[in-house]
Amino acid sequence: MAKDFTILGIESSCDETAAAIVSADKSIHANKIASQIETHAKHGGVVPEVAARAHLDMIDDVIAAALTDADMTFDDIDGIAATAGPGLIGGVIVGTVAAKAIAAARSIPYYAVNHLEGHALSGRLCSDIDFPYLLLLVSGGHTQLLAVTAPGTYHRMGTTMDDAAGEAFDKCAKIMGLGYPGGPAIEAAAASGDAKSIRLPRPLRGADNCHFSFSGLKTALATKLAQLGGVQTAPIHDLAASLQAAIADCLADRTKRAMQIFATQINTETTNTTNTLVIAGGVAANKAIFARLHTEADAAGFQIVVPPAKLCTDNAAMIAWAALERHDRPDQLDFDPRPRWPLDPDASPPPGRGVRQ
């Protein structure tokens, strides 16, 4: 592929309308993100129908702004990629229809990208890492450990049995009156709190598998908050710091187990002699979690890669990049959007109820 092969990426699967322009040599010419946070904050979370309408209002302007930022026109674009799932289907439809229309009008290839694959490959957009690598994907809807062997080839080693880590941050922030989105709000409150002051559980610590569980942590936090007199009197900063430390410990413990398995059973007969841990998804923007995982990776002899915050939270540069990774395999224009789209369809479900794929 020519190193200047350039793709316009579109992301609209949750509460961000984003467009980015990326070339095969990893140049990011534009990375525009229009957030709907203010629209949804008053409801305490994303309202799907409101989100879909907001995507529709913003998409044309965001694409135009990306072209302006890059100082490009559609003549400079060689392919169009859009998130085709998983996510809130109304928003996904808005992004994919826009992308398909541009692809048809310009007679250029169209790529239907899995949003999770965008996160999974974002480490390769910002660093020169080889396959295979171990991926901790921590977003608002997913918490998974995956061995990434090639674009499109994933082996899921662990997943959450209930809530995702980002979901735990968001729900606990709501309980503590810290607003939406919860992760950044809890990180800010935790900065002036004592992480050792309130004892919270570490679900599944030491378990032989690589699965996660966060809903018990949420219940434990709600119970502590009530015991301490509720949001008016409880030491919210200490609670936030203690919760953040508990989530960091759980992620570190489960990732430690996955690193053992990856190093001894998966990356054994490959030419890649470096064991790498990539952390991706919105929760990867949390500095305390990064520090905790960094210590664990060092101890296991893994190098650690975390994309910069702008590429960790939802963005369209990762969508364009996921398409560039398989630029010679575009999709047909009749590709249907998918509300659910697991990276490893063959993964067996973890024990327990309320299983997420």
Contact footprint for ligand KG4 (CB under 6 A):
14, 139-141, 166, 169-170, 181-184, 187, 281-283, 285-286, 313-314
* DSSP H helix total and E strand total for the chain: 11, 10
Taking the complex as a whole, the smallest distance from the CB of residue 179 to ligand KG4 amounts, in Å, to 11
Residue 158 contact among ligand KG4, Zn ion, none, beta carbon within 5 to 8 Å by kind: none
Check binding of 11 to Zn ion (CB under 5 A). Answer: no
Check binding of 143 to Zn ion (CB under 5 A). Answer: no
Residue 276 contact among ligand KG4, Zn ion, none, beta carbon within 5 to 8 Å by kind: none
Cβ atoms 124, 325 nearer than 8 A: yes
Cis peptide before 86 (omega within 30 of 0): yes
Residue 141 contact among Zn ion, ligand KG4, none, beta carbon within 5 to 8 Å by kind: ligand KG4
Residue 250 contact among ligand KG4, Zn ion, none, beta carbon within 5 to 8 Å by kind: none
Residue 170 contact among ligand KG4, Zn ion, none, beta carbon within 5 to 8 Å by kind: ligand KG4
CA distances from 119 to 104, 195, 217, 280, 317 (A): 27, 29, 25, 6, 10
DSSP summary character for residue 268 = S
- Measure the CA–CA gap between 14 and 73, rounded to whole angstroms: 27
Cis peptide before 351 (omega within 30 of 0): no
Taking the complex as a whole, the smallest distance from the CB of residue 313 to ligand KG4 amounts, in Å, to 4
Of 30 and 190, the one with the shorter C-beta distance to ligand KG4 is 190
Cβ atoms 121, 151 nearer than 8 A: yes
Q: Which of 36, 139, 275, 286 binds Zn ion (CB under 5 A)?
A: 139
- When CB distances to ligand KG4 are compared, the closest residue is 183
The side-by-side arrangement of strands in the sheet containing 133-138 is 153-159, 143-150, 133-138, 276-280, 303-305
Q: Residue 214: how many CA atoms within 13 Å on its side-chain side?
A: 29
Check binding of 167 to Zn ion (CB under 5 A). Answer: no
Judged by DSSP in three states, 241 sits in: helix
Check binding of 83 to Zn ion (CB under 5 A). Answer: no
Cβ atoms 247, 214 nearer than 8 A: yes
Q: Which of 11, 314, 325, 331 binds Zn ion (CB under 5 A)?
A: 314
Of 102 and 316, the one with the shorter C-beta distance to ligand KG4 is 316
Segment near Zn ion (CB under 5 A), from 34-42, 66-74, 91-99, 311-319?
Answer: 311-319
Of 102 and 280, the one with the shorter C-beta distance to ligand KG4 is 280
Q: Provide the binding-site residues for Zn ion, judged by CB under 5 A.
A: 139, 314
